[in-house]
């Protein structure tokens, strides 16, 4: 799906998207690349979906593997499946993993204890492999923070961060980055928080195609709206933001061009 052209050391990095779920990936990715969005990180969400993700690995796309809290299934050896997968392919992170305690009636979340057990197991695997983690945290921030601190996990990103400056600083104090995506366009509290947060701990992302994007025809392009918003908040140019967030992603995930 991606062009064969080697990565450059400029352009935007979408640090969290699901290219395997796009409605028209060839055209949408080409359009994104024309808009200087030229590198993508795709997280896995469940073992049965990982083969789709692995197929996307290329010079413009890195992958992560993990079981999302929605798909925790204690009847399966999801820990063993992750260990086996890591022996077969190269990943830049363990994710998307975490805790989701949102009280949904239409899509009930798995048991909290089972979520916690698998979250901890995947964190331990990440630590053993010296890999950062991509964390999904919904209505569970304090438990996530307590778990990261207890297990001494100090490298990763909180995906789709929405919250106060105080909450953000708790993650930053642990060594974590914050994934800034389209939700910021709807969250005055998070925009206010960004004023106080260091640029060195911010990554840009879309979560495409799950971002409820205004760019419905191509959710990857929502990265440009997010970038414009963040640049205005931080009072810097788009070029400065691009260089900073690209470098943050490269260093965290050890991507080409990182130092």
Going from N- to C-terminal start, the domains of the chain cover 12-253
Over residues 203-253, the pLDDT tens digits come to 999 999 998 655 568 999 999 999 999 999 999 999 999 999 999 999 999
Cα–Cα nearest to 41, from 244, 220, 240, 243: 220
pLDDT of residue 158: 98
CB within 8 Å of 91: residues ≥ 6 apart: 62, 63, 64, 65, 131
pLDDT tens-digit readout, 98-116: 999 998 878 889 999 999 9
Note the pTM of the prediction, 2 decimals. 0.94
Measured from the Cβ of residue 124, the count of other Cβ atoms closer than 10 Å reads 14
pLDDT at residue 136 in the model: 98
Tell me yes or no: is domain 12-253 CATH 3.20.20.140. Answer: yes
Residue 205: what are its φ and ψ, rounded to 5°? -155, 165
Predicted pLDDT of residue 72: 98
Q: Dihedral of CA 64/85/67/30: which sign?
A: positive
Strand 93-100 to 156-158 pairing? unpaired
Instruction: Output the pLDDT for position 1.
Output: 44
For 53-77, write each residue's pLDDT tens digit.
999 999 999 999 999 999 999 999 9
pLDDT of residue 259: 58
Q: Is the pLDDT of residue 17 over 60?
A: yes
Residue 89 scores a pLDDT above 90:
yes
pLDDT (mean) for 187-200? 97
Per-residue pLDDT, 5: 44
pLDDT digits (tens, 9 = 90+) for 109-163: 999 999 999 999 999 999 999 999 999 999 999 999 999 999 999 999 999 999 9
């Amino acid at each position: 799906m991606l062009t064969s052209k080697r990565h450059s050391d400029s352009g935007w990095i979408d640090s969290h998207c699901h290219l395997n779920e796009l409605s028209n990936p060839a055209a949408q990715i080409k359009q994104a690349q024309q808009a200087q969005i030229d590198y993508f990180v795709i997280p896995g969400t469940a073992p049965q979906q990982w083969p789709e993700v692995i197929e996307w690995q290329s010079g413009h796309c890195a992958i992560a593997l993990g079981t999302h809290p929605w798909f925790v299934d204690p009847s399966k050896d999801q820990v063993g499946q992750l260990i086996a997968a890591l022996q077969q392919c190269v990943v830049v992170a363990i994710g998307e993993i975490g805790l989701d305690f949102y009280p949904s009636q239409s899509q009930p979340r798995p048991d909290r204890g089972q979520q916690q057990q698998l979250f901890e197991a995947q964190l331990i695997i990440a630590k053993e492999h010296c890999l950062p983690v991509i964390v999904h945290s919904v209505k569970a921030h304090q438990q996530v923070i307590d778990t990261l601190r207890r297990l001494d996990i100090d490298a990763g990103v909180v995906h789709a961060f929405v919250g106060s400056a105080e909450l953000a600083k708790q993650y930053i104090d642990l060594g974590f980055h914050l994934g800034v995506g389209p939700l910021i366009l709807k969250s005055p509290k998070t925009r206010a928080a960004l004023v106080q947060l260091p640029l060195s701990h911010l990554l840009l992302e879309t979560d495409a195609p799950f971002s409820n994007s205004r760019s419905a025809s191509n959710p990857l392009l929502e990265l440009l709206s997010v970038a414009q918003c963040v640049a205005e908040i931080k009072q810097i140019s788009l070029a400065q933001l691009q260089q900073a967030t690209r470098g943050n992603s490269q260093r965290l995930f050890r991507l080409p061009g990182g130092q």
